[in-house]
Amino acid sequence: MALLGKLQIRWSLIPAIAACGAMLLVLSGLAIGVYDEQTYRAQKVREATAQGEILAATVTAALAFDDRPAAQEYVEALRVNSQVVSAGIYNQDGALVADYARDRGGHADPTVALHPPAFVGRHLLVVTPVAEAGQRLGLVAVRIDTDPIARRLSRYVGLGLLLFMALLVVGVLAAAHAVLTRTNNDLADANRNLQDEMHERERAESALRQSQRMEAMGQLTGGVAHDFNNILMIASSGLDLMERTDKPERRKLLIDGMRQAVERGASLTRQLLAFSRRTSLRPEVIDLAAQLEGMRLLLDRSLGEDISVALDLPPGLWRVKVDPSEFELAVLNLAVNARDAMPGGGAITIGGENRPIGSDAALPGDHVALRITDTGSGMTPEILSRVFEPFFTTKAVGKGTGLGLSQVYGFSRASGGDVRIESEVGLGSTIFLLLPRTEEALPLATPELSPVTRPPGAQGDVLLVEDDEGVATLVSGMLTELGYNVTRVDCAAGALAALEANPAFDIVFSDLVMPGEMDGIALAREIGRLWPSLPVLLTTGFSPGVAAAAEEGLTLLTKPYGIGALAAALDGARPG
């Protein structure tokens, strides 16, 4: 009886034990479900993050050059991934550049900014920044699809129905866990494959960029060498012919030709300096119509007899504030580019119009639109998408540097404007140079000073600091012609030694870049410390120190220069 009582007590505990076991199984099932959900979400986050990083690395160049077609092409490539619901590419200002949406509902709006990945409903949103050399260019947002949580948790509903089937429940859970493990392994393999593809793509893009750099350098050196060889040919031939003729008219023609060659060389140098960002703009208020009228002779001489140029400028064009030299160089580059599109001759029309605020949503404020139209062959969409790339040219190597239109683009953007092209094959091209309006008045015209003939020995003593023998010889000749006594040294240390021996010089004329520990700016500082009343005039053709010289208030004469510019610079540097 006692044994029966014990058995009854044990049987009475079975429901409680079963309930506890069922509860334990439910809790175990819930724990496994939570763990599985976290694993799934983490795997999805890694997968989406990898997808976002791949897209960010792919569109870096497109964002850097604002190449919207390329950006759209990259984002459209996500269509092959059925899990990507939508994607968007944004620039550094937050403006949408390109987007893709699988269904109606718009692009992936980065409402979470750069916060960690976020699950929104059944979708996962990942926002990845795009940067190049530490500079943020924008961001990409990718939204991918995930299984509904109800679908993922439905496998555990059977736990509540199988409270008394512990072994079967355990078996089901084990099987489910095995399936999830295989799924996680598959996702991990896919993630590794994505990472490998991303690294391989980065290596391929790096090799492509290096190849493009080498190709660009070849185009640049070939074009610059060709242009400078032509300039040197004109100068060399002109000097030879001047030795063979005594006719003043003939000598004048030769001198004019060599002077034009020098101007071409200076123009090419300005393009190279502008591209390398070694020069800064010097904006002035100008009248566009008057500026273009003043360029007529230059345009006619540069374009040839088989190209006609017409100015269609309405009265009342607004004033603009730009660098006059860079503006003329931009117009000349556009005209020369139009000429090259018309090898058999044609017509170029330069027009203009005022565009008030609101006429162009992409440009704030009032603008003046300068329009250059040609009757040439036009451009294909492929060429049109690359015309502003530095070094890009459709000409053969040696026939162009590919810097002309990139100079126009850089000038327009640096001036607060823009440049746009409309072109169709066989119908010619129209380029719009958009410049912001200014309310400032035109500067007062300064009378042109006539050359002054100076008696030899009447101007004073110059200490010339120049390391190039050829340049030193020519500059010494110009200084002597202007009436100065010249003492020449080839470095800053030699200049200080000469001044210590004879501090009675009236002015120091020094190159900015010299051999030795001191450059022209350091020499000017030392002279200012030791001989504060002695003026210093610096000269250079290319140097990162130009801005530093301007900041210190030093007078600077830019190479190449003529005897008139040299005389004016010396007079301006000397007190009184």
Residue 373: pLDDT band with limits 50, 70, 90: very high
Predicted confidence at residue 262, as pLDDT, reads 79
**What phi and psi values does residue 187 have, to the nearest 5 degrees?**
-65, -40
Closest CA to 379 of 392, 363, 370: 392
Predicted confidence at residue 35, as pLDDT, reads 74
Contact 229, 252 (CB under 8 A): no
Say how many Å lie between the first and final Cα of the chain, rounded: 134
Predicted confidence at residue 124, as pLDDT, reads 80
Q: Is pLDDT above 60 for 361?
A: yes
Predicted confidence at residue 7, as pLDDT, reads 43
Report the phi/psi class of residue 540: left, alpha or beta, with left for phi > 0 and alpha for psi in -120 to 50. beta
Q: How far is CA 407 from CA 307, 327, 333, 412, in A?
A: 23, 10, 8, 8
Cβ neighbour number for residue 502 with a 10 Å cutoff: 10
H helices of 245-293, in order, are: 248-275, 288-293
Closest CA to 491 of 508, 510, 472: 510
Predicted confidence at residue 529, as pLDDT, reads 93
Closest CA to 334 of 402, 410, 431: 431
Contact 340, 395 (CB under 8 A): yes
pLDDT in tens, 177-187: 778 888 888 88
Cβ neighbour number for residue 569 with a 10 Å cutoff: 19
What is the average pLDDT across 297-317? 83
- With vertex at residue 189, the alpha carbon angle to CA 186 and CA 191, rounded to the nearest 5 degrees, is 110
| Separation of alpha carbons 576 and 533, rounded Å | 12
> Buried b vs exposed e over 109-121: b needs ≥16 C-beta within 10 Å?
ebeeeeeebeeee
| Separation of alpha carbons 295 and 297, rounded Å | 6
| Separation of alpha carbons 511 and 522, rounded Å | 11
Residue 50: pLDDT band with limits 50, 70, 90: confident
Bigger pLDDT: 262 vs 220: 262
Q: Is the peptide bond before 560 cis (omega within 30 degrees of 0)?
A: yes
Residue 243: pLDDT band with limits 50, 70, 90: confident
Tallying the residues shown for the chain, one arrives at 576
Task: Provide, rounded to the nearest whole percent, the portion of the chain with pLDDT above 70.
Answer: 72
At 118 the three-state DSSP class reads strand
Predicted confidence at residue 435, as pLDDT, reads 92
What is the average pLDDT across 280-284? 75
Residue 321: pLDDT band with limits 50, 70, 90: very high
- Please tell me the least confidently modeled range out of 35-44, 217-226, 243-252, 325-334: 217-226
With 0.85 as the threshold, say if the pTM is over it: no
Contact 397, 403 (CB under 8 A): no
What is the average pLDDT across 313-324? 90
